[in-house]
Structure 1
Amino acid sequence: MRTVGVEEELLLVDPDTGEPRAMSAAVLARAEREGSGKDVFEKELHEQMLEFATHPQSSMESLHAEIVRCRKEAAGHAGEIGCAVAALATSPLPVSPSIGMNRRYRWMEEQYGIATREQLVMGCHVHVSVDSDEEGTGVVDRLRPWLPVLAALSANSPFWQGSDTGYHSYRSRVWQRWPSAGPTELFGSPDRYHRRVADMVATGVILDEGMVYFDARLSQRYPTVEIRVSDVCLHAETAGLIATLARGLVETAAREWRAGTEPLDPGVSLLRLSAWQAARSGLAGELLDPRTMRRTPAETVVHTLLDHVADALEAHGDLERAREGCARLLRDGNGAQVQRDLMRRTDSLRDVVTECVRHTQA
C-alpha cells in the first residue's frame, strides 16, 4: 500500500485582531525546547508562516489523526507566546510580510524582487510513495489534467490585502509568479525529467533543484511524487480528503503506466487555463473537464474524478471516505466559501480570521 505524507503551511496571527504576526522563530524555538519540533515543524520563507510535515502513513485514518495532532501542537506552541495559527492560504487582512533571515531567502528576494516580498501564501503538499523514478515519471505525466480538481476542492484564499479577490484560490495565482511554477509538458522518461530539471538550474534563473515548483514533481528527498497544487485547507478533514484523492490519482496513474496506457495530453496552454478556472470558481461554478477541456459543472467534474480513481480508492478501502468527503464539500462549501459566508455574516475580516483559527483545530 502506498504511503502518504502531508506538509501544511499555517499562518501565524494575533488571536485578538487576526493580524499576521512575524513569530515563526519564537514558535520554532519553543517547539524545539519542548522536544516536539524536530522533524515536524520547519521555518518558511516568511516569518508569519509555520510549516509542519507528517510522517508517512499507510492508513488515511492515521494520516488524518496526525494532521489534527500537528495542528494542535502548532496551536499550543503558538499560544504559549501569544499568537495563534490559522489554516488560511492567504491573509485576509493587510500585511507586510517579513522575509526570514536565511541566505537562500535573501537570494530569492534579490532575484525575484516584489514577487518574493509578497509571497505570503500557504499551501498543502502531498507526498505519495512510488517504486522508482520510472514509475514516478509515468505518474507525473498522467496526473496533469486532474490536478486542477484538487485545487478547486482545496480552494481557501478568497481575500488578499483586505479585499475580496473574486477568486476562490488567489494563492495559486500569486504562486504562479515563480518562474518555475505550474503545469509541465510530458516527460516520457526519468532521463528527460532530470535533464529538464538540470537545464532549468543551469540557466541561473533558479537557485537549485528545490526551486523547481512543478505542480507535481519527483521529490528530491523522498521516493515520492509530490503534488503541490492545493491551498492549505481550512479543515483537517479536507486535507485528509485531498491526500486520499492524491493517493488514488497516483495509484491510478501508475496502473495506467504499467499497462502502457498513453497519458492525456491537452498541452500546457490548456492546463494553465484549467488551473485558472479552478482558482477562479472553485466548486461554485464550472471547471474544465480533464478529459475534454471544456467547461462543465464543478459537481460533475468532481464525480468524474471519483469515477477515475474509484478502483484505486476501493483497493485501499478509501472509496466511501472519498465520496463522503466530496459530498460534504459540494454541500457545505470549500474553505473559500466558508470564509465568504463568515464575511457576509460578520462584515469583518478580523472576525473571519479569528473564526478560522477555531476552524483550524475543529
Structure 2
Amino acid sequence: MKRQDVTAPARPAPATLTLGVEEEFLLLDPETGESLPVAEPVRNALSGTAREQSRQEFRHSMVEMVTPVCTDLAQLRTHLVALRRAAAGAAEAAGARLVAVGATPVCEAHRTVPDEQRYHAMSRRFGPVAHDPAVCGCHVHVGLPDRELAVQVCNHLRPWLPVVQALTANSPLHDGRDTGHASWRSMQLERWPSIGPTPHFESAADYDATVAELIAAGIMLDGAMVYWYARPSATYPTVEVRVGDVCPTVDDTVLVAGLVRALVATMVDHVHAGAPAPRIRDCLVAAAHWRAAHDGLDGDLIDLRRGGARPAWDLVDELLVTLTPALTRHGDLDLTRREIDRVRREGTGATRQRRIMARTDGDVRAVLNHLTDQTIAG
C-alpha cells in the first residue's frame, strides 16, 4: 500500500500543555502477596469522583484510576493522592492491599478475563498470552489535539523513551524471586504482537493505514489495541506515552508526568522548527528498550542518538538539559531537578525493592509491606 507523504501540522501547540495520568494497581492478599480477584467489589466500594475516575481492567486483580485533565503538576499530585487513597480504602474493605508495582510479584491463581465481549475476544485470539499474570503501567497523556502533529511528535520521541522506561522500572520480582530485570512487566508484555516501540510514520494517514493493515492481519482486534509505547490516544485528543511501569509513589508519578509533558513540548518545538525525526532502525530501538527494562538506571542504556552503551545517569542528565526550556516554560524545572536528585539517591522502584530484599534475606512480604505504604504516602 502506498504511503502518503508527510503533511505539515496545521496548528501550533499552546505554550502550556495539559496532562493527565492513568495508573494501574494490583490488588494483593495482605498475608501471601498473591493477586486477589476482587476488582469488582473494590470498584463498587468507590463513590463519587473516585468511582467516576476508576476503570475496569483486563484482570480481576487490577484497578485503574484516571486523573482529570490537569494544567500543572501540583494539581496533578492532588488528584493522584486522592485517587490512590480512595482506591486503597476500597481495597482494604475487600480484604486486599492496593499496591503500585509493575508486575505480579508472587502469583495469580485466577487469570480469567472480566465478562466483557471484547475481553473474551482477546482471550480467544491470543490464547495463553491473554492469561499471563497481571501487569500494571503508568500512562501519561499530554494534550495535543492535532493528530498530524501528534504522529510527528511520536516519531521524535523514539530516542528518549528508553530513558523514561528506565526511570519507571518497578517490577523486578516474579514468582517471589528477582528476575534479573528491573522491569519484568516490559518482558511479559513483549509476548503481545501489538506492544512495543512506536514505528516511524510519515503522516497520520500513514499511521491509520498501517493500523488498518495490522487489524486486517489479525494482529489487533481494533484500533484500541495499538499498544505502542507512544501513540495518538484512541480515546482522548492527546499523545499517550505508555512505556512505564506504574510508579511506587505519587512523587515518582509526578516526576514522570512532568518529564513526559516536557518531552512532548520539546518535540512539538522540533517539528515546528522543521527538524527531521531521527531515522533509527527498529531493531536498535527494540534493543534499547530491552536494555532499559533489564538495567533500569543501575547500569547502561543505549544512546540511540549517538550509538553505543553509556551510563544510564549520563542519559538522564542529558534528557534534563534537553528538556530545560520546556520545563521552565511549564514552571516545572525546580521540582523536576529535586525529584531527579531524589531518584539518584534512592534509586528506581526496582532498586528500592532489591535493597529491601537484600537486607531481609529475600523477604518478599517486607517488599510488599514497603510498597503498600509507598502507594498511599502523600
* TM-score, normalised with respect to structure 2: 0.93
Shift of 1:119: 4.4
**Could you tell me whether the CA contact under 8 Å between 2:50 and 2:86 is conserved in 1?**
no
Q: CA deviation at 1:307?
A: 1.2
Q: For residue 160 of structure 2, what is the aligned residue in structure 1?
A: 146
Shift of 1:355: 2.0
Distance change (3 Å), C-alpha of 1:324 and 1:37: closer
The 8 Å contact of residues 18 and 351 in structure 1, kept in 2 or not, is answered as no
Report what 2:89 is aligned to.
76
Query: Deviations along 1:139-197, whole A, 9 cap, x unmatched?
Result: 11100110010110000000111221100011011111110111133212111111111
Match of 1:18 in 2: 33
1:294 pairs, out of 308, 316, 321, with 308
**Structure 1 counterpart of 2:74:** 61
- Contact 1:97 1:120 (8 Å CA) reproduced: no
Report the Cα distance in structure 2 between the residues aligned to 1:141 and 1:156, rounded to whole angstroms: 26
The within-5 A match list for 1:84-233 is: 84-98=97-111, 99-233=113-247
- Pairwise CA distance, 1:18: 2.3
* CA distance in structure 1 between the partners assigned to 2:344 and 2:278 by the alignment: 26
- SS of the aligned residue for 2:23 comes to strand
In the superposition, relative to structure 1, how do residues 174 and 103 fare at CA in structure 2: closer, same or farther (>3 Å)?
same
Letter of the aligned partner of 2:372 in structure 1?
A: V
1:234 CA displacement: 0.6
SS in structure 2 at match of 1:217? strand
For 2:307 and 2:80, locate their aligned partners in 1 and report how far apart those are by CA, in whole Å: 34
Partners of 2:359 and 2:34 in 1: CA distance: 20
Unaligned runs of 5+ in 2: 1-15
Residue of structure 2 in register with 1:49 after alignment:
62
Q: Which letter maps to 1:77? A: A
Deviates more, 1:99-108 or 1:253-262: 99-108
| Residue range with higher mean Cα deviation, 121-130 or 322-331 | 322-331
**1:308 counterpart = 2:328:** no
- The residue number in structure 1 matching 2:24 is 9
Asked if residue 28 in structure 1 is aligned to residue 43 in structure 2, the reply is: yes
For each residue in 1:215-237, what CA deviation from the matched residue of structure 2 results, as whole angstroms up to 9, or x when unmatched? 10011221100001000011110
1:265 maps onto 2:291 in alignment: no
Describe the SS at the equivalent of 2:79.
Answer: helix
Report if aligned partners of 2:103, 2:133 keep a CA contact under 8 Å in 1. Answer: no
What's the counterpart of residue 11 of structure 2?
Answer: none
Segments of 5+ residues of structure 1 without an aligned counterpart are none
- RMSD over equivalenced CA pairs, Å: 1.2
The whole-number CA distance in structure 1 between the counterparts of 2:110 and 2:277 is: 40
| Mapped contact 1:135–1:254 kept (Cα < 8 A) | yes
In the superposition, the TM-score normalised over structure 1's length comes to 0.97
**2:349 match:** 335
Which residue, 220, 234, 238 being the options, matches 2:252? 238
Task: Show the counterpart of 1:255.
Answer: 269
- Residues 219-268 of structure 1, C-alpha deviations (whole Å, 9 max, x = no match): 12211000010000111101111100000100000000011001112221
Deviation at 1:52, TM superposition (A): 0.7
Contact 2:50 2:83 in 1 (8 A): no
Structure 1 residue 37 displacement after superposition: 4.3
- Secondary structure of the 1:308 match is helix
Whole-Å Cα distance in 2 between the matches of residues 8 and 295 of structure 1?
31
Count of aligned pairs: 360
Q: Distance in 1 between matches of 2:163 and 2:148?
A: 25
Point out the more displaced range, 309-318 or 340-349.
340-349
Counterpart of 2:350, as a letter, is A
